[in-house]
Structure 1
Amino acid sequence: MRKLLCLFSVLSITAGLNACSPADHPENGSSAESPENPDGSDQPNPGPDPTAGKTLVVYYSFTNNVHTIVGDLCTQIEADVIRVEPAEKGLDYAADNYAIGSALIQAIRNDPDNASSYPAIDPVAVGLDPYDTVIVAAPLWWSSMAAPLQTFLFNHGAEMAGKRIGLIVSSSSSGISGVESDARRLIPGGNFLTPSLWIRSSQTSNCHSMIAEWLEDTGYAE
């Protein structure tokens, strides 16, 4: 498998690259990790270059697991990267057994076709036309895709019709079928690569070989 330098040109929904904000999120009462680099001060902030690669990686991260996974992925492929961020800052998702995350997921489940069911995220300006492949890297929240990432896909999933869609899911122990269902609902015209990649929280630090095998198994480079 060729290893290409990832163009970490994050079309961030914050003013710059906040690449070390947190990753994996509420998972039916599982404990969240603390962010390793909460201020992101050690990360570069290159200007976006959306034509540099034909793969786009979109992710949301709370406890830093998904961020770590995306960082490793980008040592193995060339891609542009968007990090989704909630519009409301400073929420303690871990409080009260992840009550906030549970409520956000329930609101989406109650009315998934209504834009008002989805939590607000920071604006993202991205043109999807240059990309043949979109890789979605998602934490699992209460057996579903993390709510802020669902918002992004609700807004942009229709633009991904006909594109190859790869799905990487981070969870503590719960299975990922609910996240896969969310992805297919939100990107109804996507050509999904199979299988999805499930990386448990305990496997995050050793995910390199899992990602390499997944890229080969899905025929990503073909």
Structure 2
Amino acid sequence: MKKIFYFLLIAGLTLGFTSCDEDNPVPDDPQTENPSDGDNNEDGDDNEGTQDPDNPSLAGKTLIVYYSFTNNTHTIMTDLQSQIDADIIRVEPAEKGVDYAADNYAIGSALIADIRENPNEASSYPAIDPVEVNFDEYSTIFIGAPLWWSNMAAPLQTFLFHYGRDMAGKNIGLVVSSASSGISGVESDAKRLIPDGNFLSPSLWIRSSQTSNCHSMITEWLESIGYVKR
């Protein structure tokens, strides 16, 4: 009887270890893009996520908001949308056809200067097209921001100036595109404009030269902030 008991005990332990191994597969090479991963949704519930115990809970619907002048941020945020189930809003300036890069970005520089001088005045921010969104529907908001002169691009600042307080208590994930400059100024702008947001750390910084390889960077970042696709 003792031999039978020990045999059953060893067999049970072996099965238990095998099950744990199946729940923790070896991750893909983080340097290899795999675009098909973003559409894998067996449960039809990608719009929910979970968060590790060290960060705020991520559960419920997700919204992506971004502005893009050169389309780098557009490429990044649409790739993000391909990896999760999220609604998406592209902020558009009310004045069309403006070349912010003309005369060595003189127009864009002037817009940032106006905001820096009077950040609490609505008149400091350039007009944008009207946006309709019910923030009560969302628990997580990913914000895609180009960097202009060490700050967040002016049209996106306008959006957050008007709607940032509606994001109180939401989980905020910041994605920044820049040529080479650091992103601390953009992070400061986001926290100023969304004073009561639960900012997920770290922010994702993608340089312009990395845009074509952003898929794997986004995948790793989602894992680092605890956003798990179901």
The answer as to whether partners of 1:4 and 1:78 remain within 8 angstroms in 2 is no
Instruction: Tell me the SS of whatever aligns to 2:205.
Output: strand
Deviation at 1:68, TM superposition (A): 0.4
The answer as to whether partners of 1:5 and 1:78 remain within 8 angstroms in 2 is no
1:83 & 1:5 partners in 2: Cα distance?
Answer: 25
2:215 & 2:99 partners in 1: Cα distance?
Answer: 30
Deviation at 1:4, TM superposition (A): 4.2
Residue in structure 2 matched with residue 132 of structure 1 by the alignment = 139
Give, as a single letter, the amino acid of the residue that structure 2 aligns with 1:94.
A
Which has the greater radius of gyration? 2
- Root mean square deviation of aligned Cα: 1.6
Residue in structure 2 matched with residue 214 of structure 1 by the alignment = 221
Task: Give the TM-score, by structure 2 length.
Answer: 0.74
Deviation at 1:3, TM superposition (A): 3.0
2:123 & 2:169 partners in 1: Cα distance?
Answer: 27
Instruction: Tell me the SS of whatever aligns to 1:207.
Output: helix
Q: 1:108-127, aligned counterparts within 5 Å? A: 108-127=115-134
Give, as a single letter, the amino acid of the residue that structure 1 aligns with 2:77.
V
Give, as a single letter, the amino acid of the residue that structure 1 aligns with 2:38.
K
Deviation at 1:74, TM superposition (A): 1.1
2:227 & 2:198 partners in 1: Cα distance?
Answer: 12
Residue in structure 2 matched with residue 29 of structure 1 by the alignment = none
Task: Give the TM-score, by structure 1 length.
Answer: 0.77
Instruction: Tell me the SS of whatever aligns to 1:166.
Output: strand
Q: Does 1:93 align with 2:128?
A: no
- Deviations along 1:154-193, one digit per CA (max 9) or x if unpaired, are 0000000000000000000000000000000000000000
2:222 & 2:88 partners in 1: Cα distance?
Answer: 17
Deviation at 1:94, TM superposition (A): 1.1
The change in CA–CA distance for 1:5 and 1:71 in structure 2 (over 3 A counts) is farther
Q: Which runs of 4+ in 1 moved over 2 A?
A: 1-6
- Deviations along 1:54-79, one digit per CA (max 9) or x if unpaired, are 00000000111001001111111110
1:115 & 1:94 partners in 2: Cα distance?
Answer: 24
Give, as a single letter, the amino acid of the residue that structure 2 aligns with 1:115.
A
2:91 & 2:62 partners in 1: Cα distance?
Answer: 17
Q: Does 1:3 align with 2:38?
A: yes
Q: Which structure 1 segments of 5+ residues have no match? A: 7-52
Q: Does 1:141 align with 2:176?
A: no
Q: Does 1:74 align with 2:81?
A: yes
- Deviations along 1:63-115, one digit per CA (max 9) or x if unpaired, are 11001001111111110000000001111111111000000000000010111
Q: 1:175 aligns with which of 178, 182, 206?
A: 182
Give, as a single letter, the amino acid of the residue that structure 2 aligns with 1:169.
V
1:174 & 1:217 partners in 2: Cα distance?
Answer: 22
Q: 1:106 aligns with which of 94, 113, 135?
A: 113
Give, as a single letter, the amino acid of the residue that structure 2 aligns with 1:103.
A
Q: Which structure 2 segments of 5+ residues have no match? A: 1-26, 28-36, 42-59
2:90 & 2:82 partners in 1: Cα distance?
Answer: 17
Deviation at 1:221, TM superposition (A): 2.4
Give, as a single letter, the amino acid of the residue that structure 1 aligns with 2:216.
S
Give, as a single letter, the amino acid of the residue that structure 1 aligns with 2:129.
D
Q: Report percent identity of matched pairs.
A: 74
